[in-house]
Amino acid sequence: MSAPDITIEQMNLKYDSFPALQDINLKLEGNKIYALLGRNGSGKTSLLSVLSSFRPASSGSVKVGGEEVFDNEEATLQICFIRDEGNVYEEENAKKALAFASKFRPNWDAAYADQLMEKFKLPYNKKVSSFSRGMKSAMGAVIGLASRAPITIFDEAYLGMDAPSRYAFYEEILRDYMEHPRTIILSTHLIEEVESLFEEVVILDQGKILLHEKVDEFRDKGVAVTGSADRVDEISINMKVLSEKRLGPTKSVTLFGELDRETKQKISHYQLETGPVGLQDLFIHFTSKKEGDES
Ligand SMILES: Nc1ncnc2c1ncn2[C@@H]1O[C@H](COP(=O)(O)OP(=O)(O)OP(=O)(O)O)[C@@H](O)[C@H]1O
């Protein structure tokens, strides 16, 4: 399966006069896993709703495979949008709800849906409306995965799921993506849990695109350094420290920016360990900046 590219140009969305999305320009190539990050109210759900044709943009263009997506059945059949409330038909038992979901999904894999129901321990014969919050989310995950839609979107679809279920969900996304490549967009606040899945990251801030980058390039904006606390302090002294943790005599810091030659030499001389920066630390840094900040 080859997933179509998504191209958004000069797109704006207003709720009455409130500008929820402003001048959005974004190109997402097919067959990658994207992180859509942003603080509360930054516009993630609004962006995904426009992309999925749940609502029209106020202006600009949103194309999937070169075709405007709004009111375009062929384009929207390629998209499966699972929201935090699950998008599940709740008035019937789970078996009927799955049958209902499959009607609008041309790539639906019923055998895979059965495997996932088993994996998430979801009962077929219970009304979905009687499911717990986490079970409803797991049902959304089953529908999103078994749809095998070329563009699959999970918008905080993990809400209420316990940790084992969430990790089972992430594992399944990666496993099934490897077997059936497609575009997957995950909007999440649990960045540390899922960061290893992402190839590219998009950050929204107050309705605007703050950043769109390959995750590896994004991570290169900083470095994590661990070792004896006084030596770690010494090399961090002139750098922006994004986070720090101390365990007895050992300290780990996340530093923002490139290391100069002298600092690199000290790190090597002191035998400090270096590693990649967590996405979450960078995300917090980028989205908590105040006007006038330079870095
Ligand atoms: N139906 C609506 N009517 C009016 N304003 C809305 C509506 N939906 C969202 N908004 C506003 O648009 C902005 C973006 O909301 P949106 O739900 O897209 O953010 P989000 O990034 O998904 O947030 P969260 O992480 O909290 O879920 C917010 O200021 C919100 O109050």
Q: How far is the CA of 55 from the centre of ligand 1 (A)?
A: 13
Mean pLDDT of the 109-129 span: 95
User: Is any atom of ligand 1 closer than 6 Å to the C-beta of 41?
Assistant: yes
User: Is any atom of ligand 1 closer than 6 Å to the C-beta of 38?
Assistant: yes
Q: SS3 of 42, please?
A: coil
Q: Please tell me the distance from the alpha carbon of residue 291 to that of residue 284, in angstroms, as a whole number.
A: 15
User: Is any atom of ligand 1 closer than 6 Å to the C-beta of 20?
Assistant: yes
In a 10 Å sphere around its CB, with 0-12 CB exposed, 13-18 middle and 19+ buried, how is residue 288 labelled? Answer: exposed
Q: SS3 of 173, please?
A: helix
In degrees and rounded to multiples of 5, residue 8 shows phi and psi of: -115, 125
Q: Please tell me the distance from the alpha carbon of residue 21 to that of residue 12, in angstroms, as a whole number.
A: 5
Mean pLDDT of the 215-238 span: 93
User: Is any atom of ligand 1 closer than 6 Å to the C-beta of 295?
Assistant: no
Crossing angle of helices 163-179/133-147, nearest 10°?
Answer: 0
Total Cβ atoms within 10 A of residue 10? 12
ipTM above 0.95, yes or no: yes
Q: How far is the CA of 47 from the centre of ligand 1 (A)?
A: 10
Residue from 45, 158, 205 whose mutation best tests the ligand 1 pocket (most atoms within 8 A of CB): 45
CA atoms lying within 13 Å on the CB side of residue 120: 34
Per-residue pLDDT, 87: 62
pTM for the model: 0.91
Per-residue pLDDT, 88: 65
* Average pLDDT across the chain, whole number: 92
